[in-house]
């Protein structure tokens, strides 16, 4: 009996959490997973960019334009306490707009200008072939800038941590500087750590 | 008597086997570049964050900023996701489990510093808004101090928050006022957006944790006297003296009580009470056992006393003293307006008498880019010479 109890006690000794591991769990990007914080997460990004894309397509400047307006994405400004990958925000808005607009908008690849410039120079010097006159200026100018800002308000008390984030996007007419569209989304999260961490 | 001996033997055996951890100790040799990757990969997951902190700072001090980034990113991800139930944390509150068995995240000053260093790296990459997010988060880590006057009282974090806002075209005056209000030494300089070179400095030995109290249940911080008190920078024929903006010893020791301190205090009371009770039962039992009439009752009391002593011995009120011991004591910031191109700075660390110690002198060569800030990080523990 003594040996049996000793063996049992010994087996429970390592204190390893999830000793057999946790299998990979597929989640939808818009659902809250079991690993969460109070910062910017995938479900927030999906919800916000979906809302913005739907909203922007409904405005007359886009919906009723005779030719697709040309838009440049200006990186969002992060004014929260959470560092974020701003490219992912821009990329999702762009892909959603491209997907949903069915050609009603044209995005300009300004972030690729260095590579595009290089390619144009190669064409102009005759080092590579060109199907059009390489000397012609064909890089398009923007009609609108699409940009945004994330603003945050954080509170911590004994009851826990609360983070409110306001996601605001704007479409700016580059000729007049008029803000022709603006929309926002708000997300608030709260949480409290285990007492061992307080 | 025979039954009592069997019970005592059984209890001892269970206690001894239950203590075995099963994990082989890692072959650490004291070199952080050897130990940290090994501990992160193969060590207990509960210590991973601590080793990531150590590794990231060591990488920064030898100028390997790209190596430090992913390590800090992973650490900060862990920090940001600690809400809700945590079985390891729950266990660490139990009577028979040490606090050090919980996942290490560090005290607020350690968490703040992890954010601060990541902020420096974001600024280096030109991502000023993300840098600002890190400085804000660093300040936020200090928001749970017990006394209101010590909440969010880092001068540099607020100053940098406002400076970043100002650089981004916003109004950083609120953050500047907060920085001014919490400055314990010289007032911070007004923002100058034409500054294009930021020199982040840290120096002196930071706080080291130790356990005080009868059972080491009280978390305390050992403060060493720093051989370095300020910095002198020679750059482009200009000599600039820079004083510290923040003192981590001050920050570590002004947080006040933790919730966990109450848990540990309760554990200590339980340990002490059971020990005293066990002593009393053993002595009373031994006296009774000598009396033939009360022999059985005496042995029963003796057994109960021994068991109580075992319970007392198994109670673990020790405070978690795992520590990011490589942190500095002082944080400082130098600001320069330099022409784009390569520059070399000589950084001398001065003692209390204002004298330089050649062993701390650093030489840093760096390039100021066009249209962006140059961000330099130098510690009295940095390798030298360095090109950043």
Contacts of A86 in chain B (CB under 8 A): 127, 129-130
Residues B21, A13: C-beta atoms closer than 8 Å: yes
Among B86-100, B104-118, B358-372, whose mean pLDDT is lowest?
Answer: B86-100
Q: Over chain A, what HEC string results?
A: CHHHHHHHHHHCCCCCCCCCCCCCCCCCCCCCCCCCCCCCCHHHHHHHHHHHHHHHHCCHHHHCCCCCCEEEECCCEEECCCCCCHHHHHHHHHHHHHHHHCCCCEECCHHHHHHHHHHHHHHHCCCCCCCCCCCCCCCCCCCEEEEEEEEEEEEEECCEEEEEEEEEEEEEECCCCCEEEEEEEEEEEEECECHHHC
- Nearest chain A residue (CA) to B137: A81
**Residue whose structure tokens are 């200590």:** B268
- Nearest chain A residue (CA) to B93: A196
**Residue whose structure tokens are 């039992």:** B285
pLDDT in the model for residue B126: 95
State the average pLDDT over residues A176-195.
Answer: 91
If phi > 0 it is left, if psi is from -120 to 50 it is alpha, else beta; for residue B76 that is alpha
- Nearest chain B residue (CA) to A82: B133
pLDDT in the model for residue A16: 54
- Nearest chain A residue (CA) to B13: A6
pLDDT in the model for residue A35: 61
A11 compared with A108, residue with greater pLDDT? A108
Digit-coded pLDDT (tens) for B161-178: 999 999 999 999 999 999
Residues A195, B89: C-beta atoms closer than 8 Å: yes
Q: How confident is the model at residue B6 (pLDDT cuts 50, 70, 90)?
A: low
Facing residue for A191 by CB, picked from B84, B258, B260: B84
**How far is it, in rounded angstroms, from Cα B240 to Cα B334?**
8
Within 8 A by CB and 6+ apart from A84, the residues are A39, A40, A78, A150, B130, B133
Residues A197, B14: C-beta atoms closer than 8 Å: no
Residues A17, B122: C-beta atoms closer than 8 Å: no
B257 compared with B253, residue with greater pLDDT? B253
Report angle CA B241, B247, B251 to the nearest 5 degrees.
Answer: 165
pLDDT in the model for residue B22: 57
Q: How many CA atoms lie within 13 A of B341 on its CB side?
A: 3
State the average pLDDT over residues B339-343.
Answer: 96
Q: In the predicted model, is pLDDT for residue B27 greater than 70?
A: yes
Q: How confident is the model at residue B97 (pLDDT cuts 50, 70, 90)?
A: confident
Q: In the predicted model, is pLDDT for residue A195 greater than 50?
A: yes
Residues A37, B22: C-beta atoms closer than 8 Å: no
pLDDT in the model for residue B293: 87
A194 compared with A27, residue with greater pLDDT? A194
pLDDT in the model for residue A40: 86
Residues A80, B136: C-beta atoms closer than 8 Å: yes
Q: In the predicted model, is pLDDT for residue B14 greater than 60?
A: no
State the average pLDDT over residues B210-219.
Answer: 93
Architecture of domain B18-261+319-387: Alpha Horseshoe (1.25)
Residues B9, A156: C-beta atoms closer than 8 Å: no
Return the CATH fold of A39-129+138-191. Rossmann fold (3.40.50)
Task: Name the minimum distance, in Å, from the CA of B182 to any CA of chain A.
Answer: 19
Please report, for chain B, the start and end positions of each structural domain, with discontinuous segments joined by +: 18-261+319-387
Q: In the predicted model, is pLDDT for residue A33 greater than 80?
A: no
State the average pLDDT over residues B108-130.
Answer: 96
pLDDT in the model for residue A7: 45
Residues A83, B22: C-beta atoms closer than 8 Å: no
Residues B132, A79: C-beta atoms closer than 8 Å: yes
Sort A90 into a burial class: Cβ within 10 Å, 0-12 / 13-18 / 19+.
Answer: buried
pLDDT in the model for residue B3: 52
Q: In the predicted model, is pLDDT for residue B294 greater than 70?
A: yes
Task: Name the minimum distance, in Å, from the CA of A72 to any CA of chain B.
Answer: 20
Contacts of A37 in chain B (CB under 8 A): 80-83
Task: Name the minimum distance, in Å, from the CA of B224 to any CA of chain A.
Answer: 26
Within 8 A by CB and 6+ apart from A174, the residues are A72, A141, A142, A143, A144, A145
Task: Name the minimum distance, in Å, from the CA of A136 to any CA of chain B.
Answer: 30
CB-CB contact of B88 with B39 (8 Å): no
State the average pLDDT over residues B255-264.
Answer: 85
ipTM associated with this complex: 0.75
pLDDT in the model for residue A8: 40
pLDDT in the model for residue B89: 82
pLDDT in the model for residue A2: 42
Best of B129, B130, B139, B264 to disrupt the A interface by mutation (most A CBs within 10 Å)? B129
CB-CB contact of A79 with A149 (8 Å): yes
Residues B17, A195: C-beta atoms closer than 8 Å: no
Task: Name the minimum distance, in Å, from the CA of B18 to any CA of chain A.
Answer: 5
Best of B72, B133, B256 to disrupt the A interface by mutation (most A CBs within 10 Å)? B133
Residues B260, A196: C-beta atoms closer than 8 Å: yes
State the average pLDDT over residues B86-103.
Answer: 86
Contacts of B89 in chain A (CB under 8 A): 193-197
Among A29-43, A72-86, B142-156, whose mean pLDDT is lowest?
Answer: A29-43
pLDDT in the model for residue A156: 85
Q: In the predicted model, is pLDDT for residue A193 greater than 90?
A: no
Confidence (pTM): 0.84
**How far is it, in rounded angstroms, from Cα B35 to Cα B56?**
13
Contacts of A15 in chain B (CB under 8 A): 21, 91, 101
Q: In the predicted model, is pLDDT for residue A151 greater than 50?
A: yes
Digit-coded pLDDT (tens) for B299-337: 999 999 999 999 999 999 999 999 999 999 999 999 999
Among B76-90, B326-340, B346-360, whose mean pLDDT is lowest?
Answer: B76-90
A31 compared with A190, residue with greater pLDDT? A190
Digit-coded pLDDT (tens) for B32-70: 999 999 999 999 999 999 999 999 999 999 999 999 999
Among A25-34, B81-90, B186-195, B253-262, whose mean pLDDT is lowest?
Answer: A25-34
**Residue whose structure tokens are 């609120």:** B174
Exposure string for B30-39, b = 16+ CB within 10 A, e = fewer:
eebeebbeeb
CA distances to A39, A42, A52 from A189, in Å: 8, 14, 20
pLDDT in the model for residue B152: 86
State the average pLDDT over residues B213-217.
Answer: 93
């Amino acid at each position: 009996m003594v040996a049996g109890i000793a063996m049992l006690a010994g087996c429970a000794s390592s204190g390893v959490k999830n000793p057999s591991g946790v299998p990979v769990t597929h989640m939808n990007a818009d659902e809250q997973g079991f690993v969460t914080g109070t910062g910017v997460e995938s479900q927030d990004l999906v919800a916000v960019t979906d809302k913005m894309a739907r909203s922007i397509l409904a405005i007359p400047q886009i919906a009723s334009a005779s030719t697709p307006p040309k838009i440049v994405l200006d990186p969002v400004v992060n004014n929260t306490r959470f560092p974020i990958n701003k490219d992912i925000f821009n990329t999702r808005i762009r892909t959603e707009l491209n997907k949903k607009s069915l050609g009603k908008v044209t995005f300009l690849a300004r972030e690729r200008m260095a590579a595009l410039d290089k390619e144009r120079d190669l064409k102009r010097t005759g080092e590579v072939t060109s199907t059009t006159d390489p000397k012609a200026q064909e890089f398009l100018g923007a009609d609108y800038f699409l940009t945004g800002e994330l603003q945050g308000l954080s509170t911590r008390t004994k009851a826990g941590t609360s983070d409110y984030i306001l996601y605001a996007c704007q479409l700016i007419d580059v000729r007049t500087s008029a803000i022709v569209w603006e929309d926002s989304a708000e997300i608030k999260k709260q949480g409290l750590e285990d007492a061992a961490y307080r | 008597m025979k039954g009592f001996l069997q019970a005592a033997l059984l209890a001892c055996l269970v206690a001894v086997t239950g203590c075995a951890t099963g994990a082989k100790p890692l072959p650490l040799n004291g070199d952080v570049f050897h130990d940290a990757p090994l501990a992160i990969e193969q060590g207990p997951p509960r210590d991973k964050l601590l080793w990531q902190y150590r590794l990231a700072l060591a990488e920064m001090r030898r100028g390997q900023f790209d190596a430090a980034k992913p390590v800090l990113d992973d650490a900060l991800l862990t920090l940001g996701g600690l809400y809700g139930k945590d079985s390891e944390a729950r266990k660490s509150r139990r009577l028979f489990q040490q606090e050090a068995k919980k996942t290490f995240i560090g005290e607020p000053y350690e968490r703040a510093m992890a954010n601060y260093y990541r902020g420096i790296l974001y600024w280096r990459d030109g991502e000023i808004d993300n840098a600002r997010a890190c400085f804000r988060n660093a300040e936020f880590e200090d928001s749970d101090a017990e006394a209101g006057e010590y909440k969010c009282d880092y001068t540099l974090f607020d100053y940098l928050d406002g400076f970043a806002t100002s650089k981004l075209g916003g109004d950083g005056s609120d953050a500047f006022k907060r920085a001014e209000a919490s400055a314990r030494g010289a007032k911070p300089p007004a923002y100058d957006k034409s500054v294009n070179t930021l020199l982040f400095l840290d120096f002196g030995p930071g706080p080291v944790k130790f356990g005080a109290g009868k059972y080491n249940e009280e978390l305390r911080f050992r403060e060493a006297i720093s051989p370095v008190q300020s910095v002198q920078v020679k750059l482009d024929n200009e000599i600039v003296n820079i004083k510290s903006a923040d003192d981590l010893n001050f920050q570590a020791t002004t947080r006040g009580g933790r919730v966990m301190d109450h848990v540990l205090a309760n554990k200590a009371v339980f340990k002490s009470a059971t020990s005293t009770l066990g002593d009393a039962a053993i002595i009373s039992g031994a006296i009774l056992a000598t009396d033939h009439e009360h022999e059985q009752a005496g042995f029963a009391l003796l057994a109960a006393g021994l068991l109580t002593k075992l319970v007392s011995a198994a109670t673990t009120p020790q405070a978690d003293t795992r520590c990011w011991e490589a942190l500095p004591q002082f944080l400082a910031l130098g600001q320069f307006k330099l022409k784009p191109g390569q520059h070399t700075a000589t950084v001398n660390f001065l003692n209390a008498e204002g004298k330089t110690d050649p062993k701390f002198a650093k030489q840093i060569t760096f390039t100021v880019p066009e249209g962006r800030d140059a961000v330099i990080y130098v510690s009295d523990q940095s390798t030298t010479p360095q090109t950043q």
